[in-house]
Structure 1
Amino acid sequence: MDTVQAAFVPPAPIPRTGPVGTLQLIRTIYRNPLELWGEPSYNEPWVSIDWSFAHTIIANDPGLIRHVLVDNARNYKMAAVRQRILRPILRDGLLTAEGDVWKRSRKAMAPVFTPRHIHGFAEAMKRTTDVFADRYEGLTGTTDVSRDMTMLTYDILAETLFSGEIAGDPDQFSHEVDRLFETMGRVDPLDLLGAPAWLPRFTQIRGRRALAFFRQIVANTMEMRKTRMEKEGDKVPNDFLTLLLKAEGPEGLSRAEIEDNIITFIGAGHETTARALGWTLYLLARAPWERDRIEQEIDAFMDQAKVPPPHAWLDALPFTRAAFEEAMRLYPPAPSINREPIEDDQYKDLKLPKGAAVLVMPWTVHRHRLYWDNPEAFMPSRFHPENRDKIDRFQYLPFGAGPRVCIGASFALQEAIIALATLLHRYRFDMAGTIKPWPVQKLTTQPDGGLPMTVTARR
C-alpha cells in the first residue's frame, strides 16, 4: 500500500482561523454548524467562548468528557437550545425526556435491547437486506445510496422492532424524513437569541406537515397493534411495539409517552445507522484498497461450507466492522452532544458556570489532533483488533456515553455489519462522476446532495 492510498482525506470543512461576527455565527449555525469550528477546537483540550447569546465550552479532553457525561452527570441536563430543536419533534421520547419520564422510558425499553433479543433480530436483518438488495439487480445508471440506506434501515426497523407493522408507505416516509430534518431539525435563529417560546419559529412552521405525517403514522401503527392485541392476545409478537403498549399505565408510560418513543425510534432510531452506512460505502468507494481488503474478508467468510448465523457476523468480520467504525469517526451520525450545568462546576482549572452551553462534539473530538494520528484521513486500521485498546473510551463517541448512552448501539452495530456484508458480497459501489459530497449537520451528519453511486454485480 503506498502512502497516497493510506492517506485518503474525504471532504470536510477547513477549520476557521479568524473571529466570527454574530450575524455570521447565526447564519453558519443555521446553514451548517460543522463549518463553524475554528483551529482551537481541533487542537485544544477545551475551548471557552463568550458568544453574545451564551457562554460556550467546547469539551474535547476525554477526562473532561467523562466528567460531564459520567462522573458528574447528575449536575448536567440537556442544553436548552438542543431541547428547543428536538422537543417539538420528539416531545418526551427517550432522546429528549428528562428525570422520571426518561427513567420510565429507559426501563420500559431495556428488555428489547438485551444481547439475547438483539441476536434474535439478526435473521430478520439479513432477510430484509437480501430482499432490499434484489432491487439493485440489473440497475442501470446511478442511485442515491444515501436515500437507499434510509429506506433499508427503515425496512429493518419495521421488520425487527415492529414485526413489519408500521403503517404508511416507505417511499413517502423517506421523503418526509428528509423534509423533517431539513426544517425542524435545524437551529432556528430565534432559539439562539433566546426569544420567548411563544414567538413562532419559521423552521418549525415549515416542518409541521412532515411532523403531522409522522404523528399519523404512529397513531395508525398503535391502533393496528392494539386491535391485534385485543383479538389475538399472546399470539401477538412480543416486540418493541407490544412491549411499549403493555407498559401503559399509572406506574409505567402514558399514552403520549408511548407515542413519543415510537416516533423517536421510527424517525431518529434508523436515521443514524442509515447515514453511517451511506458514508461507509462512499469512503470505501474512494479507498478501493480498503474495499478490496473488506471484499476479500467478506467473500472468504460467506463462501464457507457452513456460514455462521448472522448474529455472529459482528465479531467474525473485523475489517468490515473497522471500516464502519472509522466512517462513524469521520462522519459521526450524531455530531453534537449538548449539556448544561445545573450548578457551577469545575474540572481542573476550567470553570463550567451554571447555565453555560457545554458542547461535547464527536465531530471535533473524532478529528482532534491531540488524540488521533492523521485525524482527517480514512484509516480503518485504527479499529483493527490489535489497535482498539489504544483508543480511549471517551475520545470515540458515536453512540455517546454515560447514563444516556444510545440504548440501540448494539442493535445498530449488528445491523450495519449484516447489511454491509450482504451488500458488499453481492455488489460493488462506486461514486458516480467527480461529485464530492459535503457533510452538513441536520441533527445527523448528512451528505449534501446525496451520494450518487453506480452499483454493479460482483457475482
Structure 2
Amino acid sequence: MDMRPEPFTPPAPVPRTVPPSRLEVIRTVFNNPLELWGVPSYTLPWIETKFFKERTLIVNDPGLIRHVLVDNARNYKMSEIRQLILRPILRDGLLTAEGPVWKRSRKAMAPVFTPRHAQSFAGQMLRKSKEYAEKYEGVGAEGQVFDISVDMTEITFNILSETLFSGEIVTESDDFSDDVDSLLHRMGRVDPMDLLRAPPWVPRLTRIGGKRVLGKFRGIVAKTMALRQGKLHIDPASAPQDFLTLLLQLAGPDGLTMEEIEDNILTFIGAGHETTARALAWTLYCVAKSPQVRERMEDEIDRVMASGTQPVEWLDQMPMVRAAFEETLRLYPPAPSLNRAAIADDEWVSPNGERVRIDEDVTVLIMPWTLHRHELYWDKPRAFMPERFLPENRGSIDRFQYLPFGAGPRVCIGATFAMQEAVIALAVLMRRYRFDVTAETNPWPVQKLTTQPRDGLPMQVSLRPPKPSGVN
C-alpha cells in the first residue's frame, strides 16, 4: 500500500461546465482570463469556437502546437488582440516586434543569451541573491511576515540589473516593485475595446491610469541610456561590456534604431525579470505546502552548497530544486497564453488521420495554462508533483506539452538565464530560511500578462530549524 500523502493541489479556477454569456466573457477577460476556460479546454485536443464573431482555434494537441509554432511558423503572426495590449507598452521590443525588426533585434541579442554566456552570470546571481537574503536577517525562529511576491520581484530585478546592466539602471526610488505591479495592472490587461477590435487610437479607459507609470519607465530607460552613452563617449574601453553596451553599439543604419534600442531596454527592465519573479513566489508557496518536497530540496541544497560546487553547476547538481521550479512553471506558467493568427489557409493532419483546417485570419490560442493542466497529457494534472521533472522521468514529457518558455523561433531568449537564476536564488534563500504560509496566505492566480497572486503572497519567513542529531 502506498502510504505517501496526497500531493498538494494549489488554488486555481475550476473549469466551467456552462459556456459564459457575451457579458460574462467581457467581465471575465477583464478581471481574470484564467477563469474563462471550460471543461473542453482541459479535456479535448483542440476546440473551434467564436469570440465576438471571430473564429478561434484553441489548441492543446502537442503535434498541432508544433505545427503552428515550429513547422509552419512562417504562416502565423502575433494575434491582433495581443498586440493591442502589449504594443502600447513595449512598441518594437523583442516581445512585440515582428518581421525584419524582430529578426534584427533577436540576432543582435542572441550572443548575450547563449547557454555559455548565460552561465557566466552565475557568480553575479549568487552574489546578488546573498545580498538580498540579508533582508531577512534577524527574523529569528519565530519568523516575520513578508509579501513574497514583492520580495521576488526585487531580488530578480537586482539580478537583472547587475548581470545585464552592470547595476547602472537609473531608478529614482525604492518603489520599483509597486511600479511594475501598477504597469501590469493598468496596461497589461484586456480592455473591452480590445475585444471589440477598436483601433489603437480609441481610448482604453482602463489604461488611463497606467500612462503615468509607463512614462516613468520610459524616463528610467532614457536616463540609463544617456548615462552609458556618456561613458562610451568619454572612454569606450572603460564602459562595462554588458547587454546595455552591446545594444548601444549596434545603433546605426545596419543595426538597431535608437527607438528600437529604447524599446528593448524597456522590455527587459519592465518585463525581463517579472516572469521569473512570479514563478519564484509561487514555488516558495507550493513548497511550503509540500513538506516532503521541501525536505528533499533542503537536503540537496545543503549537500551541494557544502561541497563547494560552483553556482554555474547548481542547475545540474540540484535536480529536485530545479524540478520544483519547473513543476511550478507548469501549474502557474508566467505566460499563460500564446496568441497567433493565421496569415494564409493551413491544414494539419494528426497521426490518426484527423484533419484540422485553419483558415486565413483565424486566431490560434495555445494556452500553457490549460495545456499544462490537461487531462490527456498529465497524471493528476492539478497536483504539485515535482518528481515529474526529475531526470529519470523527464523523457515521458513531450516537448510541446510543456511550454513555460514557448517554442519555435520566438522561444524565450532568456530561458537558460531564468532557470539558472531561479535555482541559485532558491538555493540561497532556502539554505538558511523557511517560508511558511499564514492565515492570510490565500493566493488566487490572476492573469495580468503574467500569472500572479491576487493581493500579493504574504508568507512567514523564519530561520530554518537545526537538523536532528545524526541527520546528514
TM-score, reference length from structure 2 = 0.95
Please give the secondary structure, in 1, of the residue aligned with 2:49.
strand
Match of 1:72 in 2: 72
Q: 1:175 to 1:53 in 2, by over 3 A?
A: farther
Match of 1:412 in 2: 418
Does residue 161 of the first structure (1) align with residue 164 of the second (2)? yes
Please give the per-residue CA displacement for 1:421-441, whole angstroms capped at 9, x wherever unaligned. 111001110012153200000
Please give the secondary structure, in 2, of the residue aligned with 1:367.
coil
Coordinate RMSD, CA, aligned: 1.2
Please give the per-residue CA displacement for 1:376-397, whole angstroms capped at 9, x wherever unaligned. 0000000011000110000000
Which amino acid is 2:330 matched to?
Answer: R
Q: 1:88 to 1:3 in 2, by over 3 A?
A: farther
Please give the secondary structure, in 1, of the residue aligned with 2:165.
coil
1:99 CA displacement: 0.4
1:321 CA displacement: 0.2
Match of 2:469 in 1: none
Q: Is the 8 A contact 2:330 2:404 kept in 1?
A: yes
Q: Residues of 1 paired with 2:163 and 2:253: CA distance?
A: 28
Q: Residues of 2 paired with 1:434 and 1:209: CA distance?
A: 32
Q: Residues of 2 paired with 1:33 and 1:2: CA distance?
A: 38
1:53 CA displacement: 4.0
Does residue 220 of the first structure (1) align with residue 223 of the second (2)? yes
1:213 CA displacement: 0.8
Does residue 367 of the first structure (1) align with residue 373 of the second (2)? yes
Match of 1:175 in 2: 178
Match of 2:461 in 1: 455
Please give the per-residue CA displacement for 1:92-137, whole angstroms capped at 9, x wherever unaligned. 0000000000001001101111223212111000000000000101
Does residue 192 of the first structure (1) align with residue 198 of the second (2)? no
Match of 1:445 in 2: 451
Does residue 356 of the first structure (1) align with residue 362 of the second (2)? yes
- Mean CA deviation greater in 49-58 or 100-109: 49-58
Q: Residues of 1 paired with 2:391 and 2:444: CA distance?
A: 30
Please give the secondary structure, in 2, of the residue aligned with 1:259.
helix
Does residue 146 of the first structure (1) align with residue 149 of the second (2)? yes
Please give the secondary structure, in 1, of the residue aligned with 2:344.
coil
Q: 1:452 to 1:3 in 2, by over 3 A?
A: farther
Q: Residues of 2 paired with 1:171 and 1:433: CA distance?
A: 28
Q: 1:193 to 1:53 in 2, by over 3 A?
A: farther
Q: 1:189 to 1:4 in 2, by over 3 A?
A: farther
Match of 1:299 in 2: 302
Q: Residues of 1 paired with 2:130 and 2:348: CA distance?
A: 50
Q: 1:208 to 1:434 in 2, by over 3 A?
A: closer
Match of 1:103 in 2: 103
Please give the per-residue CA displacement for 1:129-160, whole angstroms capped at 9, x wherever unaligned. 00000010113531000110000000000000
- Mean CA deviation greater in 352-361 or 389-398: 352-361
Which amino acid is 1:261 matched to?
Answer: N
1:52 CA displacement: 2.0
Q: Residues of 2 paired with 1:156 and 1:82: CA distance?
A: 28
Match of 1:393 in 2: 399
Please give the per-residue CA displacement for 1:233-263, whole angstroms capped at 9, x wherever unaligned. 1121110000000000001000000000000
Which amino acid is 1:78 matched to?
Answer: M
Match of 2:91 in 1: 91
Q: Is the 8 A contact 1:5 1:289 kept in 2?
A: no
1:4 CA displacement: 6.7
Unaligned runs of at least 5 residues, structure 1: none
Q: How many residues align?
A: 457
Please give the per-residue CA displacement for 1:184-226, whole angstroms capped at 9, x wherever unaligned. 1000111101123221011221210110011000000000101
Does residue 334 of the first structure (1) align with residue 338 of the second (2)? no
Does residue 273 of the first structure (1) align with residue 276 of the second (2)? yes
Please give the per-residue CA displacement for 1:325-352, whole angstroms capped at 9, x wherever unaligned. 0000000011000000001112222221
Does residue 288 of the first structure (1) align with residue 288 of the second (2)? no
Q: Is the 8 A contact 1:86 1:185 kept in 2?
A: yes
Does residue 422 of the first structure (1) align with residue 423 of the second (2)? no
Match of 1:322 in 2: 323
Q: Is the 8 A contact 2:7 2:290 kept in 1?
A: no
Q: Residues of 2 paired with 1:84 and 1:60: CA distance?
A: 24
Please give the secondary structure, in 1, of the residue aligned with 2:123.
helix
Please give the secondary structure, in 2, of the residue aligned with 1:6.
coil
Q: Residues of 2 paired with 1:358 and 1:44: CA distance?
A: 15
Q: Residues of 1 paired with 2:159 and 2:364: CA distance?
A: 35
TM-score, reference length from structure 1 = 0.98
Which amino acid is 2:99 matched to?
Answer: G
Q: Residues of 1 paired with 2:69 and 2:320: CA distance?
A: 30
Q: Residues of 1 paired with 2:199 and 2:261: CA distance?
A: 28
**2:210 aligned residue (207, 210, 221):** 207
- Mean CA deviation greater in 215-224 or 230-239: 230-239
Which amino acid is 1:394 matched to?
Answer: F
Q: Residues of 2 paired with 1:170 and 1:350: CA distance?
A: 52
Q: Is the 8 A contact 2:304 2:314 kept in 1?
A: no
- Mean CA deviation greater in 270-279 or 107-116: 107-116
Match of 2:352 in 1: none
Which amino acid is 1:302 matched to?
Answer: M
